[in-house]
Amino acid sequence: MHTSSAVSRKHLVAALTLGSVAVLMVGLQPLLLGELLAAGRLSLEGVGLVAMGEIVALGAGVIVGDLLRSMMNLRFITIVAAVFTAALDLMTTTATGDTGLIVVRALAGLTEGLLLWGAVSLIVQGPHPDRVSGLFMVVQTLAQGVIAAVLAFWVLPRQSVSGGFVLLAMISLASVLLVCWQPVRLAPLSSGASQEGGFSWQRSHLLLLAAVFIQLSAIGALWAYMEPLGKYAGLDAQGAQAMISAALFMQVLGGCCGILLVRRVSEFKLLATAAVLLGGIAVGMYLSVGQGAKAFMLLSGFFSLVYLMLTPFQVRIALSLDPSGRVAVLIPGMQLLGCAFGPLVASQWVVGDYVQPVALVSVGFSLLAFILLCWLRRTSVIEEGGFDGKVVLIVGASSGMGRGLALRLAQEGAVVVATARRQEQLNELRREILGQGGKCLVRAADALNEQAAADLVAEVVALYGHLDVVVLNAGGAPALDMRRMNPGQVTAYMRSNYDVAVNYLFPALEQMRVQRNGLIVQTNSLAGFIGVPLQGPYCAAKGALRLLIDTCRIEFGGYGIRFLSLYPGFVATAQTANDGMPAPLELSEVDAVSHMLKAMRGKRWDYLFPWSIGWIVRLARVLPKPLLLWVLRRELPPLPEDVRVVSTHLQTSGKRP
């Protein structure tokens, strides 16, 4: 018995072919549904409903196939699905009216989903599933383009729309011959990768799936109504059919471009640019009435080019967010649901023969997709090779978050250079890292000593030849009431939070300018955004560092240096345990370090955590100043001498305190 534990090239050929047959109708919907509309067998409002029903049922068929995995063998499921798909295609030749066509095509979608499930299962369990999946997208679209050309130039002019569905039925029946190239049963799904490290849903996972769903809704709304829109723009029936065929071939070209560009272009930039382009194309289609058919055909070509280019980038982000692949597996499902949802929404705006509002629906979806992508960009965690082999200098590594970060980075394969003032704690850190098999160099130095900082950076470069990451984590202050401080004390505390960062920042920047890459991580504070009670010098220093790093982004960004500012809220460390400060929504050191790593792996500029305190600070910055001051003053304890003065005043005035 053959199993998919050793998926052969013959198995993959069968999977690619059967999968392409399964989704054939999805690509031919604009052509065949348009013909049903022209023949009076389907209303304009029903076009979107039929398209949505078949695509949703296709997704449901995939779920049904997975449920049948342990009960039936793959070959039997394939034969039944192919035969029933052919029968339902033949039934479509006689079906009339919105209701009848919705039922028949939904049932066809269910059986097509079974075929698709078998194909995708083989691809996932075979060698190089990512590359084969990309190839599958191109092959299926190429097949759709070939069949669309045959329909447009040969079948439909001679046999009408019924001939088109007869051709689909013949193709489905012929695919049964490939069953002998399938394994009899599928092997159980491997659980090692998906469960390694324990999968848990994150906000970024949901944002990605939502962005994919909405972006494909924008595409689906236009694609399902492409032929009616083309006719509305001035194309005759045969011209609209030819446009659909050409569009499918442009999708193939777009898919090939996506495969070539996926490792050369930022995935977020491309997807965001695509959202803007799709919105602009939809606007152009809306305005193309009266501008001639050529303008509409040109726009449809650009639309199709962008369409299939998206998938490799969406999958790349999914695998970066979740290397186990559990999120990536859901991408095709979200694409199908989006392709169904778009036409459904668009159908609500169609009135009689007036289809122009469909383009505006697509514009709205594109705008929403752009917003979701920007949000995802700010919250996602994208791996860029990890920290394995990176030389990381951590300033303030003897305790607290700096120490926790050093341990985590060493576990990930980084060469950790830890510095702080306390040699004994640094030695203990080094012993722990070496005991875990990591690499660590420790040097005791006073971060307030400019020359000592420069010498340490030079030593690191001399030893390792480069410096990849610098974490400026030194600083901190107890509760400080400026009503009891003099200028010298204020300046000293500001230096202990500002100079300790600057002294390491600029030697590191000189080296990173030479090597033209690097990451500067500065541990700031949410107190760097607003003044808070008992933290005046600390807030001033952190605010100054915030602006300094912003300016560095301008002046050093051209050298390939990335700057990340971390803004933690209250973190429970040994230093903060008895500092006299209130600590609402306090984080543990472990959670804080996880947030730091998340931001360092991403492509952010500023990272505020936890999100609850972050949003409180954002709100505080837009509150009217009198209101903000009133709230903060309530947290300021009175001075003992002020209490005595008030008590004396009340007694002399005859009032009770």
CB 314 within 8 A of CB 329: no
Other C-beta atoms within 10 Å of 617: how many?
17
CB 527 within 8 A of CB 481: no
CA angle 348, 336, 329 (to 5 degrees): 150
Q: Is 538 known to be catalytic? A: yes
Name the 3-class secondary structure at 91: helix
412: its two tokens: 């990930």
Report which of 57, 77, 168 is spatially closest to residue 122, judged by C-alpha positions: 77
3-state secondary structure 596-655: HHHHHHCCCCEEEECHHHHHHHHHHHHCCHHHHHHHHHCCCCCCHHHHHHHHHHHHHCCC
Q: How far apart are CA 407 and CA 596, in angstroms?
A: 13
Other C-beta atoms within 10 Å of 236: how many?
11
Report which of 550, 398, 410 is spatially closest to residue 476, judged by C-alpha positions: 398
Q: Which of 225, 498, 538, 607 is catalytic?
A: 538
Supply the DSSP symbol for 532. Answer: -
Report which of 132, 143, 115, 176 is spatially closest to residue 7, judged by C-alpha positions: 132
CA angle 119, 123, 124 (to 5 degrees): 115
Report which of 454, 457, 380 is spatially closest to residue 209, judged by C-alpha positions: 380
Q: How far apart are CA 105 and CA 86, in angstroms?
A: 11
**Catalytic residue IDs:** 538
